[in-house]
Amino acid sequence: MFRFCFSAPAAAGCLLALLLAAGATRADAPAGTQPLSEEREGLLQELLAETVRIRGLEPPTRLLTGEQLPAATRSFLESTISEELADEKLSGLQRVLEWFGVIPEGLDLRAAYTDLLSSQVAGYFDLDSEYLVVVDGPTAEIEQQFESPEIAALFENSIFVHEINHALQHEHFDLNRLTPDEPAISDEQTAAAALIEGDSTLVMYSYMFGFGFERFRTGGMRSMLENPAELIQMSPWIPGGKELLTAPAYLRDMLMFPYLSGLLFCTEVQAAGGHKLLNHALASDPPASTEQILHPDKWITNRDDPVMIEVPAGDGDYRLAESGTWGEFGIRLVLAERLPGAEVNERIGIAQGWGGDAFGLYRNGSDEVLVWATEWDNPDEAREFLQAARDAFPGWRVKKAGKTRVVLHTQTGNAAMRDAKRLSRLFARADSSRRGSTAPDFAALGIGKQDIPKPLSAREYMSLLDHPVLKDMFEAQMESMDEERLEALFEDEDFNAQMAEMMEDGFAEEMDTLIADSMPAMSVTEGVFEVPEHGLTMTVPAGAGWESMEDPGTGALMVVNADYGATISLGMTPVPEFMPLSSLGVAMRMQFESQGLFETTSGETVVNGQPAFRGRYVSEDEVVIVDLSVIRIGGFGLTVGLTRPGAADAELGLELDSVLGSLKLQRSQ
């Protein structure tokens, strides 16, 4: 929205506020900036070297640094926001946001931005003075969240790396060029901010995790980032999280978009063409829309530039007071407010057909008219939006204007209907053009196989479970994930498609091999199931009619009674300590439901002193009954299942409790 970009919580961590600030030109450091201590200055120089190594760019000719107390930073924010939102500009912007329904009427917009940002700023890079300013305050919240000082220091250093990368960007690509004066609501400017912030967040994560984050397979990440409010709730370490959750959703989500979606865009760009391709985007070919940010293939390979609609200057006594473009992401936010009952995926689907848009606010004294023209990829997409708009904008005039254009307008009570219609007709007939850029030419950019990052192997992924930051993050997020959220995630089509993509190219096979290799040795001998590595023994049925064997598909051991059609399955599966057993229960229920078996009872329990989860799953006709328990044994789950026909249940006379009751551990787990 402004010519400074807000930093938002990237999934790992910290809500920064990076300000690429315009305003009064400063030759000196921002007011209230003090020199860094010798120790902290030395640390920044070390982190500069790391940032240069990760990003693959030459160091800046100078790195000016300083620090501020929170009060000085708030004063800087207030001054910058006041300069960017002068009264005349604020009036038009506020009216547009209220009319579109994304902020409550009467909201003090300046105060809302200042309060939201000042609660979270941990550092910023000022374009005018070229100072990197560290802010004392928010990092203390991070230190309180983690017991380990080393982890807290890693988070704080990652913030500095994020800011240092902006200094590198400015040195090599001139961020002023990427952040020109634009309307307050500009889809192109939001896309540019996502490129800038996504790059720095990518570098930040690469530093934090110790490997190039572009090597991370992003399957599943996009679905998890579709709801920023839930992400904040799952990330209690985020400074300013309370303020974000209570802020209007539009302000929060627009603030976070450059960091969350920008990270995914830059990750996919760098995964496709390494630093050379990302540098090309920053140097001469930035994404032109949030559509390209949300769908990186529309920038990387299948270039889809937006349709630019010419905004009329006015008509008669009505003059243009404010204009802008919402873009695909902005339309998502508008529909979220105006169609709150619609499913998230439904609103996303409507916005995905976006081809371009433009709005204009016109004033004649106190009379106002707002007109919004939208272009869609094809007539079907236009019809879908037309229907949604009629539901979403009661009281507005919504009309089709050609095969792919839909125009909406509204006006104050005093504005003449004929004036509003006349302005609406100007938008219906307004000229439009498409930028017509082309997808990157990899050969011309010198991008070869040697530049393409190699995806993380399954072994490297497994090692992440021991990463100190990730372990704490996973634990906090899993604790906040109730069954409803987990089930929604597991059922999400995009999540499952992305996870399937992640498992391609031999990854799944490698993961299966690693898991199999990590499994402790198990055996069943004369009615005793043993796992020697864990000192575990358990009595299972033996004798007439019972036979032990190994399941060739899963490696689990089975004790089978063919006469009754009963099977006891025994196995060990990795269960990280941060993962609550209830989350396994959700996965188990969904898996059994896909097989026609439905949960009748379930819950966490204790089996011979060990935490466990138990569930019973029965077919609709009660032909099949499955009792299953997962018992936590160190970093593994001992799975014990009893499957038998419902008709033979009483005759068999075997309950899972009799098997579990014999569980013995020779040492504490």
Give residue-wise pLDDT tens across range 120-141. Answer: 677 888 888 899 998 876 555 6
- Using DSSP bridges, classify how beta strands 131-135 and 64-68 pair: parallel, antiparallel or unpaired: parallel
Q: What is the pLDDT of residues 630-640, one digit of tens each?
A: 999 888 889 99
Which is nearest to 345 in space by CA: 336, 354, 355, 357? 336
- Residue 20 confidence (pLDDT): 43
Q: Is the pLDDT of residue 220 over 90?
A: no
Q: What mean pLDDT do residues 436-452 have?
A: 95
Name which residue leads in pLDDT, 139 or 364. 364
- Residue 236 confidence (pLDDT): 57
Q: How confident is residue 262, by pLDDT bands cut at 50, 70 and 90? A: very high
Rounded to the nearest integer, the mean pLDDT of the chain is 85
Q: Is the pLDDT of residue 18 over 70?
A: no
Question: How far, in Å, CA of 97 to CA of 331, rounded?
Answer: 12
- Residue 473 confidence (pLDDT): 66
Question: How far, in Å, CA of 474 to CA of 62, rounded?
Answer: 38
Q: What is the pLDDT of residues 323-344, one digit of tens each?
A: 999 999 999 999 999 998 888 8
Q: 381, exposed or middle or buried, with CB in 10 Å at 0-12, 13-18, 19+? A: buried
- Residue 3 confidence (pLDDT): 35
- Nearest-Å Rg of the Cα atoms of the chain is 29
Please answer whether residues 376 and 406 qualify as being in contact, where contact means their C-beta atoms are separated by less than 8 angstroms: yes
Percent of the chain beyond pLDDT 90?
A: 46
Q: What mean pLDDT do residues 528-545 have?
A: 89
- Residue 233 confidence (pLDDT): 67
Q: What is the pLDDT of residues 150-185, one digit of tens each?
A: 777 888 899 899 999 999 999 999 998 887 767 889
Asked which of 82-86, 140-144, 313-317, 388-392 is least confident by mean pLDDT, the reply is 140-144
Which is nearest to 7 in space by CA: 254, 172, 185? 254
Q: φ and ψ at 631, to 5 degrees?
A: -110, 125
Which is nearest to 92 in space by CA: 349, 287, 359, 299? 359
Q: How confident is residue 7, by pLDDT bands cut at 50, 70 and 90? A: very low
Q: Is the pLDDT of residue 535 over 70?
A: yes
- Residue 119 confidence (pLDDT): 72
- Residue 590 confidence (pLDDT): 87
Percent of the chain beyond pLDDT 70?
A: 87
Asked which of 134-138, 246-250, 272-276, 291-295 is least confident by mean pLDDT, the reply is 134-138
Q: Is the pLDDT of residue 58 over 80?
A: yes
Q: What mean pLDDT do residues 102-114 have?
A: 90
- Identify the sign of the CA torsion 198, 204, 207, 210: negative
Q: Is the pLDDT of residue 239 over 70?
A: no
Q: Is the pLDDT of residue 17 over 50?
A: no
- Residue 613 confidence (pLDDT): 92
Question: How far, in Å, CA of 564 to CA of 541, rounded?
Answer: 13
Q: How confident is residue 10, by pLDDT bands cut at 50, 70 and 90? A: very low
Q: Is the pLDDT of residue 24 over 60?
A: no
Q: 514, exposed or middle or buried, with CB in 10 Å at 0-12, 13-18, 19+? A: middle
Q: Which residue has the tokens 């300590």?
A: 577
- Residue 350 confidence (pLDDT): 95
Q: What is the pLDDT of residues 608-635, one digit of tens each?
A: 888 999 999 999 988 888 999 999 988 8
Asked which of 27-31, 191-195, 526-530, 604-608 is least confident by mean pLDDT, the reply is 27-31
Asked which of 137-151, 163-177, 541-555 is least confident by mean pLDDT, the reply is 137-151
- Residue 503 confidence (pLDDT): 75
Q: What is the pTM of this model?
A: 0.84
